[in-house]
Amino acid sequence: MPESATARCHCGGVELQATFPSRFCAHCYCWSCRTAHAAGVVTWIGFKRSQVRFTKGEELLRDYESSPGVRRKFCGRCGTRMAFESEHGDWAERTGDGHWRIFGRSDDTIKVAGKRFGPAEIEEVVLMVPGVRDAAAIGVPDPVKGSALVVMVVPADGAADPADLSAAVDAAGGLPYTRTAKLMRRAIRAVYLGDDPGDLSGMDNADGLEAVAAVKP
């Protein structure tokens, strides 16, 4: 194995070097990652901050907080995404063949009666139901189970509301996403529970939250 790996942006203005060993290497095929990167699967390689340094063009870097605790870095000249820094961890498991499967952010998991779920894995199953165009899974307080599972679904054009699902959302623009195509589950959960959704400056479609508010209990 080499001691380090290098990467550069599209225009060559920014370069970085990462020193091995990495913390993990995993493939993610959730809907959000596929949409954000226009790819069928996205490979993530994780390093400690101390293992990564920018060797060229650090002055060209721009960053923003895409969600609480997460800052994404990109080249300010060509727009290439270079890295993201996270204050939280991702929930993942190692499979029998040595691969890692990422279920989502560790602060975004749902625990129902002692069983932990990644919202993305629930949403992928729901998206296979005929007539479902989009879905968002959230956990809400439950006096017996600790959390109960609620799934917001957006019916496909011309389709009837899917049966046996928690809540059908009538949103012309779909569920609320950030400008980088990340589903804003925490904002959805807050609005559904009647709480303050916090900073929404990165939200792309406000009508999505209005539709969630319309179906809250």
Instruction: Write out the catalytic residue numbers.
Output: 107
Cis? peptide before 21, omega within 30° of 0 = yes
The phi and psi torsions of 157 (rounded to 5 degrees) equal -55, 125
Residue found under tokens 């490979």: 43
